[in-house]
């Protein structure tokens, strides 16, 4: 019997070599795309591996024992990541989010956090440095992450019921260990922790109220995310979506909620608070209420490919520029050339035709 082979190109779209303008111009601290959306946020995936097999992200039917993950030599080194992050900050980025896969699986991730925390924005401030994790390793990592300079944490938690949670992560991981990880984060000085719950109809939508009530009054912020058609492996169907409006109705019928203003322009989540003052929740509605018009996020894959949209079909190879000896001004010029031509607005144009596109997987560039 031969092993099943899944070509890497099936799940990792190709990337072109970015154009370096001649002569390249140095960053000015502000970079807008073709729709006049400024570049403010950079999401960096540090690994394509994860110890969970969540069905909406890395289904076990695809990401099994035969799946060819990226070899270590293909990954950006911490020094390469830091160099690229410094260039992005020079273009006006103020927020950096570390993602995966599961980023805490990357060996010595604390060292990268320390390196990134030492960078400065064009205004001379430390970047808003945050990390998204499934929480499984937080008990052992929270204190060192905080000491290294990580500012905030987001934890993915799709159910409070242990049976449902184990079924969704598909590796029989207990929900109590994730909750313990959140407690460890608080003990280490993080707070409030943001808790992300991807809602899929018929799978975990009965957990909306239990999760909201568990964290109500805790100071933590739960954000309910519509199941999205990211990549090509998660079996997405429109019928599986629980619209954010329905999530808000269910919660509001139990505990009245009122809308509150975004923290900043382009914030993905719509914010709501309990009318009695017992905390905040949010909803992320990429399917039913697209927010493309304010999107300010660039994504850097584990192997150094720049993606201008979560639903991108191709990327731009920055690793090749870094490893072939180009200087910072040339790389900055290449990034500016890509972003200035960015016209992505997939969620606004989603249709039966676009659903068939071979989009990059969430596990490859992070959520």
Residues 158-172: pLDDT tens digits?
A: 999 999 999 999 999
> What's the pTM value of the predicted model, to 2 decimals?
0.90
Name the residue among 344, 349, 267, 353 with its Cα closest to residue 312.
Answer: 344
Domain residue limits, the chain: 8-365
Residues 186-199: pLDDT tens digits?
A: 999 998 999 999 99
Handedness of CA 93, 295, 197, 50 (dihedral sign): negative
Residues 327-338: pLDDT tens digits?
A: 999 999 999 999
Please give the class, per CATH, of domain 8-365: alpha beta
> Who wins on pLDDT, 350 or 291?
291
Residues 95-149: pLDDT tens digits?
A: 999 999 999 999 999 999 999 999 999 999 999 999 999 999 999 999 999 999 9
Name the residue among 209, 213, 239 with its Cα closest to residue 226.
Answer: 239
Examine the pLDDT at 278 and tell me if it is beyond 70.
yes
Pairwise CA distance, residues 266 & 33, whole Å: 14
% of the chain surpassing 90 pLDDT: 73
Examine the pLDDT at 257 and tell me if it is beyond 90.
yes
Examine the pLDDT at 4 and tell me if it is beyond 50.
no
Per-residue model confidence (pLDDT) at position 24: 84
User: Phi/psi at 318 (nearest 5 deg)?
Assistant: -80, -30
pLDDT category of residue 234 using cuts at 50, 70 and 90: low
Pairwise CA distance, residues 8 & 315, whole Å: 15
Per-residue model confidence (pLDDT) at position 1: 31
Backbone φ/ψ region at 135: left (φ over 0), alpha (ψ -120 to 50), beta = left
Residues 6+ apart with CB under 8 A from 272: 248, 257, 258, 259, 260, 280, 281, 282, 283
Provide the total of helices (H) and of strands (E) in the chain, helices listed first: 13, 13
């Amino acid at each position: 019997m031969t092993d099943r082979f899944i070509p890497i190109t099936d799940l990792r779209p190709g990337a072109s070599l970015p154009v370096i303008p001649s002569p390249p111009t140095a960053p000015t601290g502000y970079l807008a795309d073709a729709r006049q959306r400024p570049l403010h946020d950079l999401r960096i995936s540090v690994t394509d591996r994860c110890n969970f097999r969540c069905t909406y992200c890395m289904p076990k039917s695809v990401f099994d024992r035969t799946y060819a993950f990226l070899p270590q030599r293909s990954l950006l080194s911490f020094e390469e990541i830091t160099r690229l992050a410094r260039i992005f900050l020079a273009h006006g980025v103020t927020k950096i989010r570390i993602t995966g896969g599961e980023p805490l699986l990357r060996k010595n991730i604390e060292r990268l956090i320390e390196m990134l925390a030492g960078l400065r924005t064009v205004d001379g401030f430390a970047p808003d440095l945050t990390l998204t994790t499934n929480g499984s390793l937080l008990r052992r990592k929270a204190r060192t992450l905080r000491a290294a300079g990580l500012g905030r944490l987001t934890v993915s938690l799709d159910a409070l019921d242990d049976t449902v949670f184990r079924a969704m992560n598909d590796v029989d991981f207990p929900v109590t260990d994730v909750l313990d990880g959140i407690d460890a984060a608080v003990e280490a000085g993080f707070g409030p922790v943001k808790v992300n719950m991807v809602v899929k109809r018929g799978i975990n939508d009965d957990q909306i109220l239990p999760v909201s009530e568990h964290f109500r009054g805790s100071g933590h912020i739960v954000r309910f995310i519509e199941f999205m058609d990211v990549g090509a492996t998660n079996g997405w169907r429109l019928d599986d979506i629980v619209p954010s409006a329905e999530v808000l109705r269910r919660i509001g019928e139990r505990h009245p909620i009122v809308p509150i203003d975004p923290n900043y322009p382009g914030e993905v989540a719509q914010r709501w608070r309990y009318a009695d003052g017992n905390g905040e929740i949010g909803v992320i509605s990429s399917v039913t209420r697209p927010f493309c018009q304010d999107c300010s996020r660039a994504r850097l894959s584990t192997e150094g490919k720049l993606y201008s949209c979560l639903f991108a079909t191709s990327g731009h190879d920055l690793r090749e520029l870094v490893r072939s000896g180009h200087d910072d001004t040339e790389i900055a010029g290449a990034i500016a050339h890509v972003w200035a031509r960015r016209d992505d607005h997939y969620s606004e144009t989603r249709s039966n035709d676009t659903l068939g596109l071979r989009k990059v997987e969430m596990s490859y560039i992070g959520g």
